[in-house]
Each structure stands twice: as structure tokens, then as C-alpha cells.
Amino acid sequence: MSFLDFLTIIKFVNKKIYLKGIFLLLICVSVPAQNNENASEFILERINEHLLTSNYNDAIVLFDTIPAPERNSSYIRLIEASILISAGRNVEARRIIETINRAEPQNTDALFILSTIEGIEGRARQQQQALERILNIDPGNTQAIISLGNLHLSNRNVRQAASNFHQIIRQDPENLDALLGLGRTFRMNREFEQAELYLNRAVELHPEAADARVERARFNRGRGFLIMALDDLNDAIKLDPYDYWISTDRGILLVEMNRRGQALEEFNRAIGINPDIFLAYAYSAPLKDEFGDHDGAMRDYAALARLRPDYHYSLEGLGLHHMRREEWENARDVFMEAYGQAPNEHHYALLAAIAWMRMGDITAPRTFLFQTQAKVTRDTLEWHMFRLFHDLANRNFASETDLLHRLEREQDEITRARMTFFMGKYYDVRGNISMANRQYLRVLDLNQMAIPEWRLNDWILTNRNIKPF
């Protein structure tokens, strides 16, 4: 396999990354072909095998085994940088590119990879500057013009984006990226007939391109033509079976079509393709809960929390499962972390306090409850619930009765369901299982399945074999 052939395959495998709803092209450089069979070529063959199954980190390790002088050549370093980007190792990729730029300031391939890194990191101005530097060196650079069009499109500068894509179409009427860019542009501008025209043309001219079918699927999904969208995604997966984003797109579409079992299979497949991207876990975890695979859901929430520690809903799911398993210390710590990230979600503080109490000392979270109660709107149902838990060690029948009356008068159904659940937990902590179960059954009647407490409530009723009358 020549170096040029290898780069062609890299372009196929690493053709895109998905970020904030738009596609950014992952760069592949043009390199001189090497005709001699040598160790470097053998190593590149092995790297390619890893790329075909998205094993980016394993591929990267092999670069250190490439012998000099090829190992230190700019074209090998550029291949390495592009794979580092796919692996999410942007700092290392940037270091390589900056070294090449200092030695070869006119190297447009390096500038292109730099623009990709800037885009991934959300630095739109620097991304545009890198693309404009390319065009100052090579005014007709197709990929730079298309990337600039995509950047303008992401900034909703539809007119400039269309100008960039039309510039390429005038030079190359069959250019796939420009056709897809115009399809997205017209879709954003709500010129649906024109959008459909360009997307159909892209599919017809490039029947082997999974991207074309994915883009048309998104267009049809947006119009509500879900069967047509699914047909395109089915074809796209056949064309590119190791594309994580096609798989997640298909899973999301199947959820919308209420084919939830198939959707879960697709999200599991996406996770198998790349276990280091968070999106599929965000869908698979609640689906596994829905199908009763609670341990599987817990593993997915844990993975989600690891990959996106700033995403408090992953901590929420993980904390609920720790409570399900009566792992009280873990539950407390996770809900404390979730509350720290989302301080307006006061129910996280209550869940943390309950787990803390279940560790054996009902007075342990009193200071924490006092501090958090001060952040809750005074004299609301939620405020009184904090107060009830704060005073739990000194039982006050009047406060309990008052809160039960407040629950009956509460007009907001979500608040009523949530606080009824916490009333049940209050009785549970006190050891009054009969009163606790009565509250859990009332939560069931309120039918607010969207709140996280609903899952806990359902698990409690199932574990206690309590059924509604």
C-alpha cells in the first residue's frame, strides 16, 4: 500500500467529526507515494487496520515504531495529528501542528488541521483566521472554501455560506461537500424544494457516500418523513458500518419512531464503535432503565458521568441507582456533586440528605439542610419539606400534619408528586413503613413519570411488592 493509498483510507475513515450540530472536515494531507515496500509501509497498514474499527489510540501508539526519517517527516506527523483529533487528543495534535507551522508556514495541510482544532474547541474567530491564511496562500483551495462555508452556516450567515458553496459548484458541479453544504444552507433558509434538489443530487451522484444519505435523512426527519429518513440511515450504515454518528442518528430516529428496543440496540452498537463519546450513553442509560436492565443503566450513567462530569443529569441517574442498591455513602456523594453543579435543583440536596441519614445518623446532615433551606423560596412547600427533614430528630406532629395538608392543597402537579415522594422518604427514615408506602402509592396516582423521583418510587414499590388498589 502506498502512502497515498493510506491517506485515501484515512480520509474515508476520518472524514468528519460532529460538533454542535455541524460537520467539520477532518483533514487528510496529500503525501508523495512511496513505491518501495518497507517497514514504514507495513506499520501504516497496521495503523489502517485500527482505524477501520475506530481504535484510534491503538493506531497512535504505532507511530513511534515508524523508523526515521519517515517518522519525523511532516506528512507522517500530519497523519498522526489527524488521528489524534479523532481520539479527542487535541492538545497533542495542536503541538504537532504548531511545530510544523514554525518550520513550514506555507503548509496549507497543517493550517487546515489547525482550523479543525480551533473549530472543535469553539474558537470560531481563530478557525476563520486559519482558513483565511490558507486562502491567502492558495485562493482556490476547495476544502478551505467549503470549511469556511460551513463555519458561516454555523454562524447563521446563510448568504455568505451559499456564496462559498456556489463558488465550488461553479468549479466542480459534482463536489459532494458543496452539494451537501447547499442542501443545509437552503434547509436553514426554509427553501425546502431547493434543499431537497441538492441533497437528491448528492445521493444520485455519490451513491457510495454515506454522508449524503445522512444529510438527506436529517432533512426528511425534520419534515416528519421518518420512514424515508430511516431508509437513508439504513443505507448509510451499510456504506459505513463503523461510523459512530450514523449509528447515534439512527438510534435517535428509532426513539422518535417509538421503536425503543431497536433504538437501544443501535445505541449499544454506537458505544461498541466508540466507548469514549458521551452521546449514546445519554440515550442508552434511560432506555436500559425502561427495559429493566438497571445494572446496565447504572454502568452507562457511570460512563456518562466520567465522560461529561459537567452534565448533572448523568450524576442524577447514577445517584438514583446507588440509592436503589442502598449504597448510601456513594449516593450521598454523587447527589452532593450534582447539587454543586445545579444549585437550583434543590431536590438533589434532599436526596443527598436522605442518603446521608440512611448511613446511620439522622442528625448528620442538619447543618447542610439548614444551609440549603436558606436558598429555597421561603414558605413554599419545598421550604417546609427541608424544615421537616432538618427537625427530623425532634419529631413535630404539628409540622407533619401541616405538611400533609399543604400537599393536598398544592396545585402544581410536579411539585406535589415530588414532595409527596419526599414525604414518603421522611416516614421511611423515621421507620414508619406503613405511612411511607401510603405516600409512595399517592405518587403513583399523580403519574408524573418525568421526575427522577418517579423511578425511585417505582423501584421501592416493586421491591416491597406493593401494588395499587
C-alpha cell read off for 78: 500530519
- Is 17 in a helix, a strand, or coil? strand
- The residue whose grid cell reads 436553514 is 188
Question: Is residue 2 over pLDDT 80?
Answer: no
Q: Are residues 26 and 156 in the same domain?
A: yes
Residue 36: which pLDDT band, with cuts at 50, 70 and 90?
A: very low
Arithmetic mean of pLDDT, 288-309: 96
Q: Are residues 201 and 318 in the same domain?
A: no
Query: What are the tens digits of pLDDT across the range 69-116?
Result: 888 889 889 999 999 998 889 999 999 999 999 999 999 999 999 999
The amino acid at residue 181 is: G
- Give domain status of residue 401, yes or no: yes
- pLDDT value of position 206: 98
CB atoms within 10 A of CB 15: 17
- pLDDT value of position 369: 96
Q: Are residues 352 and 210 in the same domain?
A: no
Q: Are residues 327 and 426 in the same domain?
A: yes
Question: Is residue 310 over pLDDT 70?
Answer: yes
30 close to 102: Cβ distance less than 8 angstroms? no
Number of structural domains (the chain) is 2
Quote the CA–CA distance of 99 and 31 in Å, as a whole number.
Answer: 18
Question: Is residue 53 over pLDDT 80?
Answer: no
- Give domain status of residue 341, yes or no: yes
Q: Are residues 7 and 109 in the same domain?
A: yes
Question: Is residue 351 over pLDDT 80?
Answer: yes
Query: What are the tens digits of pLDDT across the range 364-393?
Result: 999 999 999 999 999 999 999 999 999 998
Residue 468: which pLDDT band, with cuts at 50, 70 and 90?
A: confident
- Give domain status of residue 37, yes or no: yes
Contacts within 8 Å (CB) and 24+ apart, 155-162: 155/124, 156/188, 158/185, 158/188, 158/189, 161/185
Q: Are residues 228 and 321 in the same domain?
A: no
Arithmetic mean of pLDDT, 12-32: 33
- pLDDT value of position 8: 35
Arithmetic mean of pLDDT, 9-30: 33
CA atoms within 13 A on the CB side of 76: 21
- Give domain status of residue 129, yes or no: yes
C-alpha cell read off for 116: 479543525
**Per-chain mean pLDDT for the chain:** 89
**Length, in residues, of the chain:** 469
Query: What are the tens digits of pLDDT across the range 176-225?
Result: 999 999 999 999 999 999 999 999 999 999 999 999 999 999 999 999 99
Element holding 117 (H helix, E strand): helix 108-120
- Give domain status of residue 135, yes or no: yes
Nearest to 338 by CA among 330, 349, 329, 328: 349
Q: Are residues 226 and 363 in the same domain?
A: no
Q: Are residues 11 and 133 in the same domain?
A: yes
- Give domain status of residue 62, yes or no: yes
Domain finish residue from 234, 268, 294 = 234
36 close to 76: Cβ distance less than 8 angstroms? no
- Is 24 in a helix, a strand, or coil? strand
Domain finish residue from 234, 259, 287 = 234
- pLDDT value of position 38: 63
Arithmetic mean of pLDDT, 299-322: 95
C-alpha cell read off for 113: 488541521
**Is the C-alpha dihedral spanning 258, 259, 260, 266 positive or negative?**
negative
Q: Provide the residue range defining the domain that includes 44.
A: 3-234
Q: Are residues 219 and 320 in the same domain?
A: no
Query: What are the tens digits of pLDDT across the range 311-350?
Result: 999 999 999 999 999 999 999 999 999 999 999 999 999 9
Query: What are the tens digits of pLDDT across the range 413-463?
Result: 999 999 999 999 999 999 999 999 999 999 999 999 999 999 999 999 999
Question: Is residue 4 over pLDDT 70?
Answer: no
Arithmetic mean of pLDDT, 292-303: 97
- Is 16 in a helix, a strand, or coil? strand
The amino acid at residue 380 is: T
246 close to 209: Cβ distance less than 8 angstroms? no
Q: Are residues 221 and 323 in the same domain?
A: no
- Give domain status of residue 422, yes or no: yes
Quote the CA–CA distance of 12 and 1 in Å, as a whole number.
Answer: 15
In the chain, pLDDT over 70 holds for what percent of residues? 92
Alpha-carbon dihedral of residues 428, 429, 430, 431, nearest 10 degrees? 50
- pLDDT value of position 469: 67
CA atoms within 13 A on the CB side of 85: 34
Query: What are the tens digits of pLDDT across the range 132-152?
Result: 999 999 999 999 999 999 999
Quote the CA–CA distance of 115 and 101 in Å, as a whole number.
Answer: 12
Q: Are residues 160 and 50 in the same domain?
A: yes
- pLDDT value of position 388: 95
Beta bridge partners of 383: none
* Higher pLDDT pick, 298 / 12: 298
Question: Is residue 248 over pLDDT 70?
Answer: yes
- Give domain status of residue 211, yes or no: yes
CATH number at residue 449: 1.25.40.10
Q: Are residues 224 and 318 in the same domain?
A: no
Domain finish residue from 234, 266, 294 = 234
Q: Name the least confident of 26-30, 123-127, 425-429.
A: 26-30
